[in-house]
Amino acid sequence: MNDFRYIKGELHCENVAIKDIVSAHNTPCYIYSHAALVRQWHAFDDAFDTRSHQICYAVKANSNIGVLNVLAQMGSGFDIVSGGELERVVKAGGSPSKVVFSGVGKQADEIKLALKKGIYCFNVESEAELHLIEEIATHFNVQAPIALRVNPDVDAQSHPYISTGLKENKFGVDSEDALRLYQYADKSSHLTVKGIACHIGSQLTTLAPFIDAVQRLLFLVKTLKENHILISHIDVGGGLGVRYQHETPPTISEYANALLAQIQDPQLTILLQPGRAIAASAGILVTKVIYLKLSGNKRFCIVDCAMNDFIRPALYQGWHDIIPVKKSLQMQPLMYDVVGPVCESGDFLAKDRTLSVASGDLLAICNAGAYGFVTSSNYNSRPRIAEVMVKNNEYKLIRKRESIEALFQEESIW
Ligand code: LLP
């Protein structure tokens, strides 16, 4: 959170006071630091600079085209999981030739779109998908570039909802099936074998599962070589965790060094798909206290953002620091559950936090730049909130707050 700091007791993003952004655009709103995005992306890029590599930022973490544009300008590639994400990348100025397409349920129109735009590679997740891609490529008489996303059957030791590398998860193809599928693809006149991929989960805080997974992939690369199938890249996925509370994830350079020590073949280009580690610390969610309420011996701090705006606490028991926008010693520090207006008991942003707050105060939910706005919804007919980007001493609205009318303008009466 280097790019969010207090100056004379007022929280700033880079050189802009958060209260000034709120005066212009109201709450709740997401605020992103341009400098933080640049720094985090470069940390990955620099850490791999001794080797041929490509960072393919995982668009799902934060897909605002303002954010994607910052990354595209630095030469980032992108990991997408839908036609919608591909259109966003193109709109943001990203190059399809640096796009990898992951996901277990790619549909024919998405495959067609990706072939038309000329993406770098499909990360194929099943035999049926391989056949559909081949069929479409044959129909259009083009070559479809493919990698198999292999399920290495390793435990990411993360939250069960965001662990993807175990056999019981829906992702990737079984290692035992990989050779056969590669042999099939290698013989096909409309499939071009490019590489091998994996992604074992998100918010990993230790290196061991990454190393384990990459070793299993490298074993397969060796088997492919013995079978005269040569690939040009190894895609290690995303997943590097961030510090939300007390976690101590490896640094980006520790992560890079651990992978580089394993992947020694200089012929293999290394692809990475980081999402969270680039975007999380680059964003905060600013909210206003509506009411303070005492119920029995429980205190609630009711704020104007809710689970529909930021679902991580409710869905993954995500812990996010909550800090005041203006430091004040006026109110007595008390323990609160910070909750939103949505009618569900699962609607909380934090539990048992000591805060010195009064109604009308502004609070910032930290490390909200990844999997924040992107997972928001209109539940309880709440318009999706504004997104602002700060660059040095300027800021720009990069997504307007939705209007109430927009919520039902596509609906109709019978
Ligand atoms: N590549 C693939 C194929 C993925 O499925 C994901 C994330 C990534 C890359 C990026 O992983 P990262 O570097 O961000 O860990 N909404 C959840 C996280 C879901 C992650 C889904 N896949 C959360 O808020 O924790």
Res 89 pLDDT > 60: yes
256-283 per-position pLDDT tens digit: 999 999 999 999 999 999 999 999 999 9
Residue 127 vs residue 168, higher pLDDT? 127
CB 29 within 8 A of CB 398: no
Kind of pairing between the strands at 16-17 and 29-33: unpaired
CB 117 within 8 A of CB 145: no
For 191, list phi and psi in degrees, rounded to 5.
-115, 135
Closest to 77 in 3D by CA, of 275, 285, 294: 275
56 is catalytic: no
CA–CA distance, 352 with 342 (Å, rounded to integer): 19
321-376 per-position pLDDT tens digit: 999 999 987 889 999 999 999 999 999 999 999 999 999 999 999 999 999 999 99
Structural domains of the chain ordered from first start: 4-32+280-407 (2.40.37.10), 34-277 (3.20.20.10)
Q: What local confidence, expressed as pLDDT, does residue 80 receive? A: 98
Q: Which two tokens stand for residue 409?
A: 């303008």
pTM, entire model: 0.98
- Residue 274 CA, ligand 1 centroid: distance in Å: 8
Distance from CA of residue 283 to its chain's centroid? 12
CA–CA distance, 131 with 158 (Å, rounded to integer): 33
- Residue 41 CA, ligand 1 centroid: distance in Å: 16
Ligand 1, atom nearest to 279 Cα: 14
**CA 190 → CA 109, 118, 120, 142, 150, distances in Å?**
18, 14, 15, 6, 21
CB 326 within 8 A of CB 372: no
- Residue 134 CA, ligand 1 centroid: distance in Å: 27
CA-nearest residue, atom 7 of ligand 1: 202
Q: Cβ–Cβ contacts within 10 Å for residue 201, how many?
A: 27
CA-nearest residue, atom 16 of ligand 1: 371
Our answer on whether the CB atom of 319 is closer than 6 Å to any ligand 1 atom is: no
